[in-house]
Amino acid sequence: MTVPEQSSPLPELDPVELEEVELHRVSMPLVRPFETSFGRQYVRDVLLVRVRTGDGEGWGECVAMTDPVYSSEYVEGVAEVLARYLAPALLGVRTLGARDVGAALGFVIGHRMAKAALETAVLDAQTRAAGVSFGEYFGAVRPEVECGVSVGIASSIDELLEEVASYRDAGYRRIKLKIKPGWDLEPVAAVRSLLGPDALLQVDANTAYTVDDIDHLRRLDDFGLLLIEQPFVEEDIASHAALAAAIDTPVCLDESITSAEVAVDAIARDATSIVNIKAGRVGGYLEAVRVHDVCRARDVPVWCGGMLETGVGRAANVALAALPGFTLPGDTSGSDRYFAEDLTESFVLVEGRLAVPTAAGSGVTVREELLQEWRSQPVRYLGHV
């Protein structure tokens, strides 16, 4: 399948000379447990990649979870594939830019989250050296982005309503509810009643349903939802197309969208009318921009998904979400949604928006003292080969 070139080609930047790759593993406590259809998290198990170059350094964050329950990738596995295959491949090239990373790592099948973390670190180093911010590099058109918040599965309706009310009062522009069989119609009805008919409300199923549930999911039409996100397994484009034909609520794909090519195919098959873009899921921010571009060319709105990122990943997501095709509030919540303290400068919600960092690179600085305090494994140093 032929996919059009990017609508605004990314700028050419000087390459960097890669000297060392470091893997940092930290455990960050969440301010409250976060539950989805595939489990409950109490801490964020974070893998950060730092590249050191002749001109400075760059950071990337891996969005994989501790266990392979959301995707086939998981933190320990990512660390191993980075150490054994991906980092040595880049160190063997040595002089390169972010645009070169995909080709250099193409001999490894899959492992998009691992590749994304490494590509982001190289891009951070490259743009810092050039004095260019991520927002400038991606083609951001807004100085700030509207923010939504993702609300996990609660232990009771009362607990859910209390949490949603706190986010509404904090100024979030959109509420997303995690749902699963047995936790869908009743909590959605209660939240819709709380927020009123005009508030932006959407649901995320994280692949928890099957095609046999289409009649049940059709009942969500009663609540005037912005969208229903990924009810079926990622490979099942046909069932999403069947659902889209059967309900009024727009169907949004998340886990299914692994590249610009897949996005084009899903749109052509009427399986989705809205796309959630997660850079880690598609292999990096360069591919995320391509997904944005092909969706925009087809008048398909996109929004930026989140994976409980620290400030490292959040900074890049906010810059991405400032592109013109991101017309819906994303999961780019403030730092305090998940963490009492962030690994970088905190992202603070102001009237429902986050500012796009303007400093070079990602625009944020890793707090080395917190990196040390929360470190869960020794640093892995991968030198030039």
Q: Can you read off the two tokens belonging to residue 159? A: 């607990």
Q: How many CB atoms lie within 10 A of CB 367?
A: 17
- Cα of first residue to Cα of last residue in the chain, in angstroms, is 37
**CA–CA separation, 194 and 173 (whole Å):** 15
Whether 115 is catalytic is: no
Backbone angles phi, psi at 35, to 5 degrees: -115, 135
Beta-bridge partners for 175: 149, 201
Identity at 32, one-letter amino acid code? R
DSSP letters for 109-126: -S-HHHHHHHHHHHHHHH
Residues in CB range of 333: below 8 A, 6 or more apart: 147, 148, 149, 150, 172, 306, 349
> Is 180 known to be catalytic?
no
Nearest CA to 238 out of 223, 253, 224 is that of 253
Q: Cα separations (Å) of 140 from 261, 340, 357?
A: 23, 29, 11
Coil, helix or strand for 25?
A: strand
**Looking at residue 384, what DSSP letter applies?**
-
Identify the residue whose tokens are 């951070």: 124
Instruction: Report d(CA 9, CA 382) in Å as an integer.
Output: 32
Q: Which of 98, 138, 110, 142 is nearest to 289 (CA)?
A: 138
Catalytic residue among 115, 176, 178, 180: 178
Please tell me the distance from the alpha carbon of residue 186 to that of residue 190, in angstroms, as a whole number.
6
Residue 14's Cβ-count burial label (10 Å; 0-12, 13-18, 19+) is: exposed
Q: Which of 11, 379, 324, 270 is nearest to 140 (CA)?
A: 324
Catalytic positions are 178, 278
